Amino acid sequence: MGGIVGVIPSRWGSTRFPGKSLADISGKPMIQWVVERVVQAKKLDTVIVATDDQRIAECVQSLKIPDVQVAMTRPDHPSGTDRIAEAVQALECDAVINVQGDEPLIDPNLIDELAEVIASSDWDMATAATAIEDEAQITDPSVVKALFNRHGQALYFSRSTIPHIREPKGISTAGIYWRHIGIYAYRRDFLLELVSEPPCTLENLEKLEQLRALDMGCRMKVIKTQDFGIGVDTPEDIAKAEALLNQIK
């Protein structure tokens, strides 16, 4: 199998929301919303749900969506990246796009944009960022800030407020701060190299896995996008997701 594979890591044992992949959102399990959005992307050759739980596997299989497969993976992976690496290790694909299993409103067009970037040999990885408009997010450590150069190449990611504005008087923050969106495209060979490396010092300090890639010298493209949907991290996020889904129906 060549081409580009979309992989959705979906584990049962979420710390803050166990079993959230099967949580009901407007009458459908969350993993169904994610899969149905991902298959709308035009540039993926196949879609794989990588899971450690038979209940999630049976749910996906029951959807009977063409070109959607299930890969059973080990339960002890430290991250979704390690899980997708196991799922594609035996595949002859060129590139992999990691779509989080808790993003029921993921934009299929963004997936296609990432696929176009990673299809070239110019980049090892690609990801996305959206402009921060809510100033409270600038200082919020749960909001990861992305810095990139004029070519869109990632320079750094941080939970801190970067860049620091030394003389803020009269400076507008519009277009300065960018929120990182946790969707990634990888060249397959780089993905397997990435998971074989131990976490670096900066990754351990910030608790941001993408810093390991930068520490390795990764050429990572950051795509600017307008919308990042919503990640469902807690049961309280269900209502927010349902409200957004009602807006786009």
In which residue are the tokens 């690496």 written? 85
Residue 63 lies in a domain: yes
Q: What distance in Å separates the CA atoms of residue 195 and residue 35, rounded to the nearest whole number? A: 25
Instruction: Name the residue type at position 245.
Output: L
Which residues are registered as beta bridge partners of 71? Answer: 50
pLDDT tens by residue, 61-92 = 999 999 899 999 998 888 889 999 999 998 88
Which residues are registered as beta bridge partners of 4? Answer: 95
Domain of residue 69 covers 4-128+180-198+218-242
Residue 105 lies in a domain: yes
Residue 175 lies in a domain: no
Identify the CATH number of the domain in which residue 14 sits.
3.90.550.10
Residue 187 lies in a domain: yes
In which residue are the tokens 């009269």 written? 170
Residues ≥6 apart with Cβ < 8 Å to 239:
none
Per-residue model confidence (pLDDT) at position 203: 97
Q: What is the pTM of this model?
A: 0.92
Residue 152 lies in a domain: no
Q: pLDDT 10s per residue in the chain (249 long)?
A: 569 999 999 988 776 777 889 989 999 999 999 999 999 999 999 999 999 999 999 999 999 999 899 999 998 888 889 999 999 998 889 999 999 988 898 999 999 999 999 998 899 999 999 999 999 999 999 899 999 999 999 999 999 999 999 999 999 998 999 999 999 999 999 999 999 999 999 999 999 999 999 999 999 999 999 866 777 878 888 888 888 887 776
Residue 31 lies in a domain: yes
CB distance 184 to 98 below 8 Å: yes
Residue 133 lies in a domain: no
CB distance 41 to 32 below 8 Å: no
Tell me how far CA of residue 103 lies from CA of 33, 108, 133, 150, 229, in angstroms.
8, 11, 21, 29, 7
- The domain total for the chain is 1
